[in-house]
Amino acid sequence: MKMAVPVRRAVERMRAYHPPLEGRTNKLRLDFNENPIGCSPAVRRALAKLSSASISSYPEQETVRRRIARHFGVQPQELLLTNGTDEALSLVVNTFVESGDRVLLVEPTYAMYRFYSELADAKVASARYDAEMRFPWDEVLTVLKTAPRVFFLPNPNSPTGNLLAPEELRRILRASPRTMAVIDEAYFEFSGLTVIPWIRRYRNLIVTRTFSKTAGLAGLRLGCIFVHRELAAIMRKAQSPYPVNVAALAAAEAAIGDRQFIATTVREVRRGRQELERGLARLCVRCFPSAGNFVLVHFGARAKKVVAALERKGILLRDRSSDFGGEGYVRITLGTLAQTKRLLRELEKAL
Please give the residue ranges that form the binding site for ligand PLP (CB under 6 A): 33, 84-86, 110, 154, 158, 184, 186, 210, 212, 218, 223
Strand-strand pairing, 205-210 and 180-184? parallel
CB 90, min distance to ligand PLP, A? 10
Per DSSP, the chain holds a count of helices (H) and strands (E) of 14, 13
Contact between residue 29 and residue 333 where contact means Cβ atoms under 8 Å apart: yes
Min CB(84)–ligand PLP separation in Å: 3
Whole-number Å distance between alpha carbons of 11 and 290 = 34
Provide, rounded to whole angstroms, the least separation between the CB of residue 81 and ligand PLP.
11
- The CB-of-324 to ligand PLP minimum distance in angstroms stands at 16
Q: Which is nearer to ligand PLP, 110 or 198 (CB)?
A: 110
**CA distances, 28 to each of 191, 239, 314, 317, 331 (Å):** 24, 36, 6, 9, 14
Backbone angles phi, psi at 337, to 5 degrees: -60, -40
In this structure, which long-range contacts are made by residues 266-270, counting pairs with CB atoms below 8 Å and at least 24 apart in sequence?
266/189, 266/190, 266/214, 268/37, 268/334, 268/335, 268/336, 268/337, 269/190, 269/293, 269/334, 269/335, 270/190
Task: State in angstroms the smallest separation of the CB of 130 from ligand PLP.
Answer: 20
Q: What are phi and psi of 199, to 5 degrees?
A: -60, -20
| Nearer CB in complex with ligand PLP: 191/346 | 191
Minimum distance from CB of 104 to ligand PLP (Å)? 15
Strand partners, 79: 226
Does the bond joining 36 to the residue before it have cis omega, within 30 degrees of 0?
no
d(CA 47, CA 279): 39
| CB closer to ligand PLP out of 73 and 219 | 219
Q: Which is nearer to ligand PLP, 112 or 350 (CB)?
A: 112
Residue 23 is which amino acid? Answer: G
Nearer to ligand PLP, 279 or 335 (CB): 335
Q: Which is closer to ligand PLP, CB of 153 or CB of 306?
A: 153
Cβ of residue 158: shortest distance to ligand PLP, in angstroms? 4
Nearer to ligand PLP, 195 or 350 (CB): 195
